[in-house]
């Protein structure tokens, strides 16, 4: 693992799975696979597409193990943002919603492994 990958893994470990970009109807105790809509809960291993924003890394989409992508190119055609694909375990550690309320059932990312990254000056799929 490169220094950059280690830094990213540390930065997103403990990150709330809710993210600002997820729908308002999002349930804090689960996320859904963007491909098959399977409910993913605490303890499940997931693939997570992340985008870097002014406020830091935010989850954009989740995938279950059956639909885990090989890399960023299979997930997105956005080329102007810093992006990352990580594998993580959903953990029930509680967290804050985008509106600042604490939810004790909120999921966070743990056991993070960086699969691929792409900077805003590169196309998805390059790392």
pLDDT single digits (tens) 3-27: 888 999 998 888 888 765 444 445 5
pLDDT band, residue 122 (cuts 50/70/90):
very low
- What is the band of 94 on the pLDDT scale with cuts at 50, 70, 90? confident
Residue 125, class by beta-carbon neighbours within 10 Å (0-12 exposed, 13-18 middle, 19+ buried)? middle
pLDDT tens across 31-78, in order? 999 999 999 999 999 999 998 888 788 898 999 999 999 888 777 665
Name the helix (H) or strand (E) containing 88.
Answer: strand 83-91
User: Which positions ≥6 away from 116 have C-beta within 8 Å?
Assistant: 71, 72, 84, 85, 125, 127
Q: Residue 76 has what pLDDT?
A: 63
């Amino acid at each position: 693992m490169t220094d950059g990958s280690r830094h990213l893994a540390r930065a997103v470990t403990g990150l709330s799975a809710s993210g600002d970009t997820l729908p308002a109807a999002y349930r804090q105790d689960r996320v859904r696979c963007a491909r098959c809509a399977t409910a993913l809960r605490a303890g499940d291993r997931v693939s997570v597409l992340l985008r870097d924003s002014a406020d830091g890394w935010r989850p954009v989409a989740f995938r279950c193990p059956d639909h885990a992508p090989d890399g960023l190119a299979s997930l997105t055609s956005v080329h102007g943002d810093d992006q990352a694909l990580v594998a993580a375990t959903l953990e029930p550690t509680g967290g804050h919603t985008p509106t600042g309320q604490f939810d004790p059932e909120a999921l966070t990312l743990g056991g993070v492994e960086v699969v691929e990254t792409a900077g805003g000056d590169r196309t998805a799929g390059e790392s």
